Chain A
Amino acid sequence: MKKLASILLVLLLSAGFVELGLWQLHRAQNVQRQSQTPPERPIINLESVAAAGHNLRDAAYNRLVTFTGHYVKFYHAPRQVLTANKTVDLQAGLMELSGNRAILVARGVDDQSMPARSDVITVVGRLYPHQNEDHANGDASTLSRLDPALVAGVGSYQLFDGYVSAISEKDSSGAQISGSRIPAPQLINPIGGFYWQHIAYVITWWFMAILVLFAPFYNRSVNRSADRSKKVE
């Protein structure tokens, strides 16, 4: 009975270490995969990937989406990070869509070139998760971060989670609306660590698994080796 329990324990521990090695291997593969920008997918309707009043699904992030509505309020969104060393002040707008729904849109750089229009506009842009970190102090006309939770008090709209960074805007006649747009690259999800670091842990965990399997024979093997060396001496 005791022997059976020992065998079970060794097998369980060994399986655990193999599993830990596999976990690190998957992380290494994720690091490798996510360090490359995935191929661009076609533009789709916002409603195809997101629903108002629901959290954004992972599959919705980075999608190029299009939707039509009209802006009901504009905001200043200061110190938005454009690149590692560059920040800009953006103009954001709350756009009302049909069915009393609304979405937050980062229109572009908040300068004179960005017209504040309230007519029907079709937006094409990239869908991003809402920001969690404040970049500035917020007030009624300033957004500290691009997060629809901050505009929840405006009207009684069902809000889409996340925000869209506009790549282009067209009015109802199909004419482009000019303005200083900002680049809307695909976000790469950072996963801690480096590929080779995870690979080192894979080897370590799997070596542990082998050691555990060898453990029941270790003491016997050591004793036999000691006997052998005594004979040699």
Chain B
Amino acid sequence: MNLLKANKAGALARFRVMANVAGIMSLLLWLVYLPIKLTATNDNVPNAIRAIAVVHGFAYMVYILVTFNYCYAVRKPLKVALFYMLAGTFPVASFVADRRAVAEFAALNNK
């Protein structure tokens, strides 16, 4: 029983870390990278700014994996799992998903 709880808590912790990382990277992507890229002449974007898009790509990939792991561990219905996965693509949605996951997890443990 403790092992099962520990698995769920671990999945939640991993999800929370990646939800925040993906959220920060989405904010940087939408508010820094995209405006610079769209206004740059001849795609002349500094490498440090380009790196935002690369890190975002990998962060979202890991986010999808840990989200699936978390949703499966706490038996989320498919529709909710999809909501959590899509949340990683919008700047603040993953922060909302993180808050919601913590609240739901607390409610689940208090049952």
Contact = CB atoms under 8 A, between A and B. Distances in A.
Given A192-B37, A232-B4, A219 B77 contact: yes
A153 interface: no
A204 B75 contact: no
Interface residues of A, number: 29
A223 B77 CA distance: 9
Contacts of A229: 4
Contact of A204 (B1, B44, B53, B57): B57
Contacts of B43: 190-192
A225 B53 contact: no
B81 interface: yes
B90 interface: no
A88 to B, nearest CB: 17
A207 B60 CA distance: 12
Contacts of A193: 50, 53
B41 interface: yes
24 contacts: A84-B44, A133-B41, A190-B43, A192-B37, A193-B50, A193-B53, A194-B50, A196-B54, A196-B57, A197-B54, A200-B54, A204-B64, A207-B61, A207-B64, A207-B65, A208-B64, A211-B68, A211-B85, A215-B78, A218-B78, A218-B81, A219-B78, A225-B75, A232-B1
